[in-house]
A and B are shown apart, each in its own frame.
Chain A
Amino acid sequence: GENVEQHPSTLSVQEGDSAVIKCTYSDSASNYFPWYKQELGKGPQLIIDIRSNVGEKKDQRIAVTLNKTAKHFSLHITETQPEDSAVYFCAADSNYQLIWGAGTKLIIKP
């Protein structure tokens, strides 16, 4: 079955710098790759997603890139701000459900 690996588990960056979180997946049939942000005490919330017919998608300071050949996708956050501090999850669709990565705790240092 599908396996999604996410790295790093913890990422600490200086405010204003960029952050990159990477995920790899195993099911070549996966076509949908969302990223969710979970703030403390809240449920995960979709921040951006990408489908396999595109290689990159941007939304203001957030971008996602997808390499279907290599089976990996990445989340890029530029000009990080304190409110970006959260746990980020990647996921990939497989067999009628989402398979989730283990999460990355992003810490923004002032």
Chain B
Amino acid sequence: DTAVSQTPKYLVTQMGNDKSIKCEQNLGHDTMYWYKQDSKKFLKIMFSYNNKELIINETVPNRFSPKSPDKAHLNLHINSLELGDSAVYFCASSHSRGKSGANVLTFGAGSRLTVL
């Protein structure tokens, strides 16, 4: 199946731990994103990579570090987890970002992170 795949789907961990969420897309897209969705459903972009190059880096704590080993993968590593990091994290991908950001995004199913 062609898709954006995220693992794990659920992640429950203690405060202070370090965790990673992996994302892979087999759509041949060259841009990948990480979004955070809070309990009120608000979608906030965190990072965007185009051909392994970081192009969007919104104001997120340094504890969040994206890593793109190739254009089909974009992983998210979170250090020293805090209660406020609890959310659903979505990976997405699209074809070239173009000049206007007018790209169709394909989202993964999300990874629900719960920090206790």
Asked whether B43 is an interface residue with its Cβ less than 8 Å from the other chain, the reply is yes
Q: Which residues of B contact A42 (CB under 8 A)?
A: 109-110
Asked whether B102 is an interface residue with its Cβ less than 8 Å from the other chain, the reply is yes
Assess whether A96 is in contact with B110, with CB atoms less than 8 Å apart. Answer: no
Assess whether A32 is in contact with B101, with CB atoms less than 8 Å apart. Answer: yes
Interface residues on A, range: 20 to 34
Tally of contact residues, B, Cβ under 8 A: 24
- Can you sample 29 A-B contacts with CB below 8 Å? A32-B100, A32-B101, A34-B104, A38-B41, A42-B109, A42-B110, A43-B4, A43-B110, A44-B90, A46-B105, A49-B104, A89-B43, A93-B100, A93-B101, A93-B102, A96-B55, A96-B97, A97-B45, A97-B48, A98-B45, A98-B105, A100-B42, A100-B43, A102-B40, A102-B42, A103-B41, A103-B42, A103-B43, A105-B41
Which residues of B are interface residues toward A (Cβ below 8 A)?
4, 40-45, 48, 55-56, 90, 92, 97, 99-105, 107-110
